């Protein structure tokens, strides 16, 4: 049971009394749900690209998508059984935001989207290889360290954002295209990649311990969230590098 506690979605799952009731989770079924969430994310991206929205309404649509992402995340966290519905809403809304971000980057940096996709898939397969061959061994200490780094990066990001209202001295360094900014982006990407290994282990342990298949949705959603995060961080890192090269 303790093996899945580092992921917030699975902390909720682990507290359920019927965690081992019903049919057990399988890799095939979890994989299908992962593909389902990724497909919905792609649908959101396509809506962003092909759906024509007047310029005076686009900000409202983006805000609505952002609110949907936030609310869906909270519901999925507190009510894992609602993940099939609200995980789907999250993926569509997040896909829309990603589509808008990709279009913005593509206008400035030629070829950045294909490069980001190739790097993202490379990161996924590399981390899967490192986990499956046990080069990276996932234990409680590993999960604790990665979780601490992840939470620390979030807190520091919020503090930098707040400081930007008073001075841009810190934010210009952290979010800038200099060596420090690139190093920070690379570090955040590394943390996201390590979180992916934990997602792999969560799935493996859930199947091994024969957890109920009703929690497959949470397992799939957790991994898809990490993949999306990795893609966004890769985009950000590439933009900084390409901007530095152009200058």
pLDDT at 42: 96
- Model confidence pLDDT, tens digit, residues 118-153: 999 999 999 999 999 999 999 889 989 998 988 888
Report if pTM > 0.75: yes
pLDDT at 84: 94
Average pLDDT over residues 9-13: 52
Average pLDDT over residues 109-125: 95
Rounded Cα distance between 171 and 75, Å, is 31
């Amino acid at each position: 049971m303790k093996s899945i506690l580092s992921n917030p979605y699975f902390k909720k799952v682990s507290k359920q009394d019927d965690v081992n009731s019903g049919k057990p989770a399988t890799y095939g079924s979890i994989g299908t749900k992962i593909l389902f969430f990724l497909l919905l994310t792609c649908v959101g991206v396509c809506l962003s690209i092909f759906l024509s929205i007047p310029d005076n309404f686009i900000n409202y649509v983006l805000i609505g998508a952002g609110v949907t992402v936030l609310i869906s995340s909270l519901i999925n966290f507190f009510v894992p059984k609602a993940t099939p519905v609200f995980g789907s809403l999250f993926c569509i809304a997040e896909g829309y935001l990603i589509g808008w971000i990709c279009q913005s980057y593509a206008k400035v940096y030629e070829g950045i989207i294909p490069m980001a996709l190739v790097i993202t898939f490379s990161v996924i397969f590399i981390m899967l290889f490192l986990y499956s061959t046990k080069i990276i061994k996932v234990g409680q200490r590993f999960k604790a360290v990665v979780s601490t780094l992840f939470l620390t990066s979030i807190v520091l990001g919020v503090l930098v954002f707040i400081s930007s209202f008073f001075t841009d001295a810190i934010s210009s360094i952290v979010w800038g295209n200099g060596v420090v900014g690139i190093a920070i982006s690379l570090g955040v990407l590394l943390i996201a990649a390590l979180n992916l290994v934990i997602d792999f282990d969560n799935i493996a342990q859930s199947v091994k311990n024969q957890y109920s298949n009703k929690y497959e949705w949470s397992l799939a959603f957790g991994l898809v969230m990490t993949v999306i995060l990795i893609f966004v961080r890769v985009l950000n890192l590439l933009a900084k590098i390409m901007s530095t090269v152009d200058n």
